[in-house]
Amino acid sequence: MMKKIYLFIIICVGNFLLASSPAFPETYAEETEIGEEKAETKEKDEETEEIVVTASKLPQKSEEITHKIDILTQEDIQGVTYTNRNLSEALRYTPGAFVNPLSRNDANWGSYGGLGPKYNIYMLDGLPVDSFVDTMSLDNKYLNTIEVHRGPTVLYPNYMSMDFAGNQSPLAGATNLITKDKILSPMTTLSTGYGSWNTLTGSAYHENSKGNVHYLLGANYEQSDYTNYGTNPSWLNMLDDPE
């Protein structure tokens, strides 16, 4: 728009000179300058490089982004009672998330934004993980924060979502599980348990630091009869080590 206004002013000046000056060569010179300027402007427009705008996976401050992000701190994560030992239970108090276990043999953990769990993608330190590697297999001791992004995203496709939800882009949102980046003091925990569905669990966890090297190690084991929520010959009938 500014270029158009500028050219319009030049033309007006040229017309004024044409009407007031008895000497034609001056007017001709003015028109020649206008023509050269138009050609130069057109040449610059043609030389303009193509600009491609892409999204970034680099860390950003929450006040600098336009999307709504809910952040669960380490205190929030540790303060939740995990009755089913699944990190998804930490999300039950975030807006738009409904978390309710259907069974222990699959992470059918409610809905996100009114959509099923396969429409939500889980990430570990910003890297997408398989939709079947859900939060059931992770221990809350590893985590520093959990970031919950609500809304569709094209940055983190998941091929398992294509198989079960009909799309590769998570429509409900993305949940980023961020592990600890600094160990302040060494800690070792061992735990075992027995409960419903003849479930036997065991876990070991250790974290420490040596100089600038911070590390954490852990292992979990679970054996269960699961739950019988189907009837024969339904494939949902799962008792005793389903195949």
Q: What is the pLDDT of residues 13-23, one digit of tens each?
A: 333 333 334 44
Tell me the mean pLDDT in the region 103-129: 66
| Choice between 123 and 48, residue whose per-residue pLDDT is larger | 123
Question: Distance from first CA to last CA of the chain, Å, rounded?
Answer: 68
User: Predicted confidence band at 196 (pLDDT cuts at 50, 70, 90)?
Assistant: confident
Please, what is the average pLDDT of the chain? 66
User: Predicted confidence band at 148 (pLDDT cuts at 50, 70, 90)?
Assistant: confident
Q: H/E element holding 41?
A: helix 24-47
pLDDT attached to residue 55:
53
* Phi-psi domain of 114 (left: phi exceeds 0; alpha: psi -120 through 50; beta: other): left
Cα(108)–Cα(92) distance, integer angstroms? 14
* 187-225 residues labelled b (16+ CB within 10 A) or e (exposed): eeeeeeeeeeeeeeeebebebeeeeeeeebeeeeeeebb
Amino acid at 56: S
**Out of 27-31, 88-92, 169-173, which region has the weakest mean confidence (pLDDT)?**
27-31
User: Predicted confidence band at 207 (pLDDT cuts at 50, 70, 90)?
Assistant: very high
**Residue 105 near residue 159, CB atoms below 8 Å:** no
